Amino acid sequence: MYRVLRPFELFEPATVGEATQILFARGAGAKVLAGGVDLVMKMRTRKIEPGYVVSLKKIPQLNGITGDGDSGLRIGALATLRSIELSAAAQNYPVLCQGINSISSIQVKNMGTAVGNLCVATPATDVAPPLFVLGAKLKIAGVDGEKLIPIEDFYAGVNKTVLASHEIVTEIILPGVCAGTGMAFLKIGKTGATIAKVNAAVLLVLADGKCTEARIALGAVAPAVIRAAEAETVLKGEKVDDGLIEKAAATATGEASPITDFRSTAEYRRVMIKALVKDALHKAVAEAGA
Amino acid sequence: MPKEMASFTVNGKPYELIIEPQMTLLDVLRNQLGLMGTKYACGTGDCGACTVLVAEKPVLSCLTLAATVKGEEILTIEGLADGNNLHPIQQAFVDAGAVQCGFCTPGMILTTKALLDENPDPTPEDVQAGLGGNLCRCTGYVKIVDAVLAAAETLRRR
Amino acid sequence: MKKETAIVGQRIPRPDTPAKTMGMAEYAADIKLPGLLVGRILRSPYPHANIKSIDTSKAKQLPGVAAVITFADVPQTLFNRSSMAEAFPPPILAGEVQDEYVLSDKARFVGDWIAAAAATDIYTAEKALDLIDVEYEVLPAVFDPVAAMQPGAPVIHAGKERNIAATMEYPFNCGDVEKGFKEADYIVEGFFSTSSQKMCQLEPDAAVACWYPGGRVTVWSPNENPHLAKRVFAKVLNIPDGLVRWITPAVGGGFGGRLSFGVEFICAALAKATGKPVRVECTREEDFIGHDSRTAEYQTMKMGVKKDGVITAIEHRIISDSGAYYSHSGSTTGVNLIHTLGLLRCANIYGIAQIVYTNTPVGGGFRGYGNPEGAFAIQQLIDEAAEKIGMDPLEFRLKNAREAGEPSCWAPIALESCNLEQCIRLGAERIGWREKRGLKKKGQVRRGLGMSIMTHASGAGGFLLEHSNAIIKLNEDGSANLIVSPCEMGQGILGALSQIAAEALGLRYEDIHVVTGDTDVTLFDIGSHASRSVYVIGNAVVEAARDVKRQVLERAAKKLAVSVNELDIQAARVFVKADAEKWVSVSEIAREAIYNFTLTGAHISAIGSFQSDNWCPNFQAAFAEVEVNMETGEVKVIKFVVAHDIGRAINPLNVEGQIEGGVVQGIGFALYEDFVVDKNTGNTITDSFANYKIPSILDIPEIEVILVEEPVPSGPFGAKGVGESGLVNIAPAIANAIYDAVGVRICSLPMTPEKILMALNA
C-alpha cells in the first residue's frame, strides 16, 4: 500500500522513431505514457514498476483528429477522449461518442486518450466496442517499420494486446460512414459512474429494407472485446424486424463467455447481453431508417 | 533519479522548481508550493478531489506527472478567490449549503468553473454530466446542483 | 408552539464553509510543523498469522529513517479502539471488549498493523517498510461468522473459543414470545443480512503527533470525541490526562468511522521514538481496509400478528460480524436491538445477539449505528404482516408505533414528544401513497411505492454519559467567543451552535466567533455521536448564554437606571422594552466591564453545562418511489419523500443537507455498496472507489424533505437531532417499494439487479 510512485527515468522523445528506439532498447522494463490515467495509477499502487517511462506527449505528429464521415476519421494517439467527443468530425460516428460519453469523469476524458484506453486492454473498455463495429484499423509503429491491423486482431487475451514491447499505436483509422447506417452503444454498471458489467456496440447498414451489414461487439463478457459473428450472420441479408432482433440478441449471448466476479454474475451478464444487444439493435434500426 | 529544473505557472505566478519524474503534480503543489487546498483522497482517479485546471481543463493532479505539465498554466483552488473575496462559484456553494466537510469542495468547484466556462447555461442534467467525476459523500449532491445552477445565473448576470 | 426567532430557523451559511471553498481549511494531512517527519504503516498480507520475528535493523539503517517500531515498542495495554469507551457507565464499561494493542501482537486480518516507520520524507518511509523483515507463521483463517462459531474454527483471540466475543440480550425483553406466537393469527419471518458498508469519507485516515519537553503530547486527530479520545489515549499510554492536548483539525467526514481511533496511537508512538513531530497518512486502500466499516449483521426475525393488526410477538436474533477486533460491534448491535424492538407496541419481545470475530477488516459503527440494519429487517416484516392481514402497511404502522407518553426505545424513559403520525401523513400525501399504491402494474418497467418509519437518538441521555459544556465570553466590541467542543465534520454544528448562541444572547449571527478543536481550551464534551450535538451541546450553549445575558442586563440596568425586567437584548442592543429609543450597545457594556475603573469590572463570560438524562428521540417517515425493470432487474429510485420530526430546525439548510446526504448514502447501502473480501486469501477486493461504488452525482433521485416542527420542551429552541436519521429508512423503503413494484422481496444487502432478477425468475 503505497502513497507515492517508485522513482524511474522519464524519456520525452520528439519523434515516433525515437520513442520506438528507446522502447526497443529498454525492453519490458519500459512503459508508454500518453494520458497516464491508467499507467500512473498502476505505478502508484505498484501493480507495475517500470524503471523507464516513455512519454509520447512531445511528439506532434500524434496529435490531431482529422477527417469526416465521408473520407473517414484519423484519431492520433494523443487525442484525448474529451477532444474526440467534442470534435465535429467524431459526430459522424455516434457510437464512438456514446462509448466515450459513458465514461462519466470529465477529468479522465481530458487526460485519457482513445489509443491509451485500447492499449490498457481491459475487457470492459467502453472505447473498443464502438471501434470494433466501426471497422477501425490501428496503425502500429515499431523499430521495424509500420503496419496496419484491424482492431479485431489487436487483442491477445485479458489485458493483453499483440504489441511487442517496442511498438506503439500511432493512429486509429476509421472508414467513412455510408448511407443507411445506424449505430448504438449501451452499457450497464452498478452506478452512473462505473466500469461496465456488460457493454455492447452495434452497427447496421440497411438498404431497401434489408440489412447489408451487421456488426455487434461485446465488452466485459470475454477475455477481450469480441465480435458476435454468429449474431451478425443472423441479421445479414434479412429484413430486420423485432423477431429477428430477438433472435440475434439471443445468439449473441451464446457467443460470449461471461464470468462471475465481485461486480456481477455470469448468469446476469448473459441476460444483460441479450437486453443490451436487443435495445442497441432497435436504436440502430431507427437511426438507419431515419 | 535525475532531477530537473522545471517552470510552471500556478495561479498566475511563475515558479522554478526542482522535480523528479516520479513526482505527481498533486505532491509538487502540496509539498513544494505549500498549496494544500488540492486534496489527496483516492490516488486512483476515481474521486476528483485532486482536480486542478491545466490549460483551463480539469485534470486529476494525483495521476499527472509534474514533469509532463512543465510550462503549463495551472489553476488550483487557491487561485480562484480575489484575496478574501469569494469567486461567485465559491459564494454560491456557501450560500446553497453545498459544502459540508469540504474535502471534495476544491475539486468540485474547479470542475464547476470549467463546466460553466464551457457551458454558461447548463441544465441540471448538464451539471450532473459535468461533475460525474467528482465524488461527495456528505451532501448527497442535491445542494451542489443547486449551487452550480445559482452560480451560473450569477455569472451570466455579471 | 414554535417560538419567534430571528436567527434560529434561518437558512444561513455556516462559518466554516468559506474557508473550505478556498482550500484554506486545514485537515490533518495539511498540517505543517518544523521538522515534521512522515510515518507509514506496515500491514499484514495474511488474514491470520502469528508473528515469529520482526527484523527492523535494515530499515533503521536506511538514511533518513528516524524510527521503526513494532509491538515491542508500544504500550502493552489492551484497549478497545472506540474512543467512546469511557462514556459507558459500569457495568456496561466492563462489557466493552478490549482486544487490541497499538500495533498488533498477531495478524488477525489482511491490513492489520504490524510495524511502522518514520522518516524525513515519504519515499524513505515507504522504502523503510520494504526493508522490514517479518517472519509470519500463517494460520488457517475464517471469514464468515457462522463458520467462525463452529467448534474447531481457528481461534482469533485467545480465550474466545468459537470466536464469540460477546453475547447480549435485548435489555427490555418482556412477556413470553412463544405464548405470543400462539396467540397470533399469522406469523411472518425472514432472514435479513446487511453489509459492511464503508464510510468512504473523502478524507483518508491521518493524524499528527508531537511530544514536548516536560512530557506533554499534542495529537492532531479527526476523532469525533476529542475529550473522550484524549482520556482513552492517556489511559493506554499510562500518562496523566493533563499532559495530553487533543486538537481537532478540519475533518473530512466521519459518519461514525471516526468514533474509533485510526492511526493516532501509532503516530504518537513514532513521535515519541523520534522526538519529532510525525504525520501518518493513509492511502485510500488503507482506509478501505484499515478503517472501520459498518458491522455486518445477520438477522432472523419473526413477528406474530392478529387479524386486527395487533402485534403479539417479535423475536429478533442477530449474529454480528465484528471483523478482527471488537470496536463498536457490540454497541451497534445493542442499538439495533433497542431501536428495532422498541419502535412498536408489543407485549412479548425477545431479542438476542452474538458478536463474532472473523479474520476480516474491523466492523464498527456507521451512521445509524445498528438502526439501519434493524430497520431493514423489521420494516420489511411489517409490510409482510400487513399484507397477510389485508391492511395498508401505512395504517399498520400508524396502529402500532408507540406514541408520546409511552415508553421510548430506552424503556425507562417515556417519549416526551413523538410526531411520527404527522410525518407519516404528510409524507404519504406528498408521494401520492393512496393514488399510486395498489395500482395494477404492467409492462417491463414497473413503478412501486414503499415506506419505512424510524426513531433515533438525539444523544445517549439516559444510558450513556451525556455531558456538554460551553463557554461564552464577550469581547470588547460586543461580539462573543463561543467555545465548544463538538466535532465539526461537515454536519454544520458550528453554524447551528452559533445561531443558538446569537439568538439566546440577543446578538447578531456575525457577532459569534466559534472557538473549537483544542482540549486545552474547550471544556469537557462528549463530542459528536448519536446525533447529540444540537440537542445536548445546544442546551449547554443556551445555559451559558442565559448567564451572559443576565450579566449584561444587570450592568445595563444600572447604566440605564431601570430594572432588569424592563430590558431585553436584540441585534446587539440592550433596550428598554417599553421604550426602544432608550438603549445601550452590548459592546459598550462589555468594554466598560473590562476597562472598568471603579473596581466593579469583570470579563463578562459564563460556562453553561448540560447533562442529558433524556435521549429525546427524533422520528421520521420516508417514502420511496422506485422503478424496476423486469427484464434487467435494475432499480431506479425516482423520488424520496422524507418527513422528519425535528422539533425545531435550527438551520433548515443544514437539516436538509443531513437528510439528503443520508438518503444518498442509504441508496448506496441499499442498492450497490458491497464490501467484498476474497474468501480464499482474505484480501479486500473492494479497496478502491473503482471497485466499491458509492453514489455519484448521476445517481441521485428527486428528494423532498418535509420538516415537522413541533418544538420539544427539553431541546434548545425545541430542537431534536437528525445527523444519523437520514440513512435509517432508506434501504427498507426501497425494499418495500421493489416489492410493491414487482412482487419480490430482497432480504440481503445490497439489493442488486442480479438478486432481483434471480428472484423474479424463481
Nearest by CB to A36, which of B63, B130, B132? B63
B48 contacts in A (CB within 8 Å)? Answer: 105, 107
* DSSP output for C410-422: STTSBPS---HHH
Which residue ranges make up each domain of chain C?
Answer: 31-139+202-253+257-290, 143-201+292-400, 419-455+618-762, 467-610
Q: Which residue in chain A is spatially nearest to B64 when comparing CA positions?
A: A36
CATH 3.30.465.10 in chain A: give the residue spans.
Answer: 60-174
Report the candidate in C730, A281, C14, A112 with the shortest Cα–Cα distance to residue B95. C14
| Equal fold, C31-139+202-253+257-290 vs C467-610 | no
DSSP annotation of C711 reads: -
C754 contacts in A (CB within 8 Å)? Answer: 264-265, 267-268
Top CATH class of C467-610 equals alpha beta
Residues B66, B21: one domain?
A: yes
Please write the tens of the pLDDT for every residue from C572-597: 999 999 999 999 999 999 999 999 99
Amino acid at C665: Q
Kindly tell me if the per-residue pLDDT of C231 is higher than 70.
Answer: yes
CATH, residue B143: 1.10.150.120
* DSSP run (H or E) holding C386: helix C371-389
Chain B residues whose C-beta is within 8 A of a chain A C-beta are 1-2, 20-22, 24, 27, 40, 43-46, 48, 51, 57-60, 62-65, 67-68, 111, 114-115, 129-133
Report the candidate in A177, A173, A36, A46 with the shortest Cα–Cα distance to residue A111. A36
For C79, the 3-state DSSP assignment is strand
Kindly tell me if the per-residue pLDDT of C251 is higher than 80.
Answer: yes
- Cβ distance A188 to C634 less than 8 Å, yes or no, reads yes
Q: How far apart are CA A120 and CA A161, in angstroms?
A: 8
Residues B146, B98: one domain?
A: yes
Kindly tell me if the per-residue pLDDT of A1 is higher than 90.
Answer: no
Residues B58, B117: one domain?
A: no
Q: Which residue in chain A is spatially nearest to C111 when comparing CA positions?
A: A1
What is the residue-averaged pLDDT of chain C? 96
Those residues whose C-beta lies under 8 Å from the C-beta of residue C213, and which sit 6 or more positions away, are none
**Do A100 and A109 touch, CB atoms closer than 8 A?**
yes
Structurally, what CATH architecture does the domain formed by A181-289 represent? 2-Layer Sandwich (3.30)
CB pairs under 8 A between A and B: 93
Q: Which residue in chain B is spatially nearest to A110 when comparing CA positions?
A: B59
Tell me which of B48, B79, B110 is where a domain ends: B79
- What grid cell was written down for C433? 401513497
Q: Rounded to whole angstroms, what are the CA distances from A9 to A26, A213, B70?
A: 11, 48, 16
Q: Which residue in chain A is spatially nearest to C281 when comparing CA positions?
A: A3
Residue C760 burial (10 A CB sphere; 0-12, 13-18, 19+):
middle
Residues B10, B73: one domain?
A: yes
The terminus-to-terminus CA distance of chain C in angstroms comes to 54
CATH, residue B38: 3.10.20.30
Please write the tens of the pLDDT for every residue from C308-354: 999 999 999 999 999 999 999 999 999 999 999 999 999 999 999 99
Top CATH class of A60-174 equals alpha beta
Greatest Cα pair distance, chain A, in angstroms, is 62
Give residue B1's pLDDT.
59
Q: How far apart are CA C688 and CA A162, in angstroms?
A: 29
Give residue C412's pLDDT.
86
Please write the tens of the pLDDT for every residue from C136-168: 999 999 999 999 999 999 999 999 989 999 999
| pLDDT tier, A163 (very low <50, low <70, confident <90, very high otherwise) | very high
Average pLDDT for C367-393:
97
CATH 3.30.43.10 in chain A: give the residue spans.
Answer: 9-55
Please write the tens of the pLDDT for every residue from C4-55: 899 999 999 999 999 999 999 999 999 999 999 999 999 999 999 999 999 9
Q: What is the pTM of this model?
A: 0.97
**Do C663 and C725 touch, CB atoms closer than 8 A?**
no
Residues B16, B64: one domain?
A: yes
Q: Residue B11's beta-bridge partner residues?
A: none
* % chain A with pLDDT above 70: 100
Please write the tens of the pLDDT for every residue from B45-57: 999 999 999 999 9
- Cβ distance A105 to B129 less than 8 Å, yes or no, reads no
Tell me the shortest Cα–Cα distance from B21 to chain A, in angstroms: 6
For C371, the 3-state DSSP assignment is helix
Those residues whose C-beta lies under 8 Å from the C-beta of residue A89, and which sit 6 or more positions away, are A65, A66, A67, A68, A69, A73
Q: How far apart are CA A156 and CA C649, in angstroms?
A: 61
**Do C198 and C691 touch, CB atoms closer than 8 A?**
no
Average pLDDT for C475-504:
97
Sign of torsion over alpha carbons C46, C52, C58, C62: positive
* DSSP run (H or E) holding C493: helix C493-505
Please write the tens of the pLDDT for every residue from A5-32: 999 999 999 999 999 999 999 999 999 9
Nearest by CB to A107, which of B20, B43, B59? B59
Residues B114, B95: one domain?
A: yes
Count up the domains in chain B and report the number: 2
Please write the tens of the pLDDT for every residue from A243-260: 999 999 999 999 999 999
Tell me the shortest Cα–Cα distance from A235 to chain B, in angstroms: 35
Residue C34 burial (10 A CB sphere; 0-12, 13-18, 19+):
exposed
**Do C294 and C193 touch, CB atoms closer than 8 A?**
no
In three-state form (DSSP H/G/I as H, E/B as E, the rest C), the secondary structure along chain B is CCCEEEEEEECCEEEEEEECCCCEHHHHHHHHCCCCCCCCCCCCCCCCCCEEEECCEEEEHHHCEHHHHCCCEEECHHHCCECCECCHHHHHHHHHCCCCCCCCHHHHHHHHHHHHHHCCCCCHHHHHHHCCCCCCCCCCCHHHHHHHHHHHHHHHHC
Please write the tens of the pLDDT for every residue from C259-287: 999 999 999 999 999 999 999 999 999 99
* Interface chains of chain A (3 or more CB pairs under 8 Å): B, C
HSE-up of residue A260 (Cα within 13 Å, Cβ side): 5
Those residues whose C-beta lies under 8 Å from the C-beta of residue C640, and which sit 6 or more positions away, are C622, C623, C624, C625, C663, C701, C702, C703, C704, C730, C733
Residues B69, B94: one domain?
A: no
Give residue A209's pLDDT.
84
Q: How far apart are CA C700 and CA B137, in angstroms?
A: 12
- What grid cell was written down for A38? 491508467
Give residue B62's pLDDT.
98
Give residue C30's pLDDT.
98
Choosing from C286, C421, C673, C724, the catalytic residue is: C724
Interhelix angle B142-157/B88-96, nearest 10 degrees: 140
Tell me which of B79, B96, B115 is where a domain ends: B79
Tell me the shortest Cα–Cα distance from B3 to chain C, in angstroms: 15
**Do C502 and C511 touch, CB atoms closer than 8 A?**
yes
Those residues whose C-beta lies under 8 Å from the C-beta of residue C293, and which sit 6 or more positions away, are C196, C197, C198, C199, C257, C323, C361, C362, C363, C364, C366, C675
Give residue C438's pLDDT.
73
Q: How far apart are CA C498 and CA A31, in angstroms?
A: 55
Tell me which of B79, B110, B142 is where a domain ends: B79
The verdict on domain A9-55 having CATH code 3.40.190.10 is: no
- Cβ distance A106 to B114 less than 8 Å, yes or no, reads yes
CB pairs under 8 A between B and C: 170
User: Can you give the residue range of the structural domain that contains B36?
Assistant: 4-79
Give residue C439's pLDDT.
81
| pLDDT tier, A239 (very low <50, low <70, confident <90, very high otherwise) | very high
Please write the tens of the pLDDT for every residue from C63-101: 999 999 999 999 999 999 999 988 988 766 556 799 999
CATH number given to C31-139+202-253+257-290:
3.90.1170.50
CATH number given to C419-455+618-762:
3.30.365.10
Q: How far apart are CA C742 and CA C755, in angstroms?
A: 13
Instruction: Show pLDDT as tens, one digit a residue, over chain B (158 residues).
Output: 589 999 999 999 999 999 999 999 999 999 999 999 999 999 999 999 999 999 999 999 999 999 999 999 999 999 999 999 999 999 999 999 999 999 999 999 999 999 999 999 999 999 999 999 999 999 999 999 999 999 999 999 98
Residue A247 burial (10 A CB sphere; 0-12, 13-18, 19+):
middle
Kindly tell me if the per-residue pLDDT of A55 is higher than 80.
Answer: yes
- Is the confidence metric ipTM above 0.85 for this complex? yes
Give residue C356's pLDDT.
98
| pLDDT tier, C614 (very low <50, low <70, confident <90, very high otherwise) | confident
Q: Rounded to whole angstroms, what are the CA distances from C555 to C478, C549, C565?
A: 14, 10, 13
* DSSP run (H or E) holding C147: helix C145-148
Whether C724 is catalytic is yes
Structurally, what CATH architecture does the domain formed by C143-201+292-400 represent? 2-Layer Sandwich (3.30)
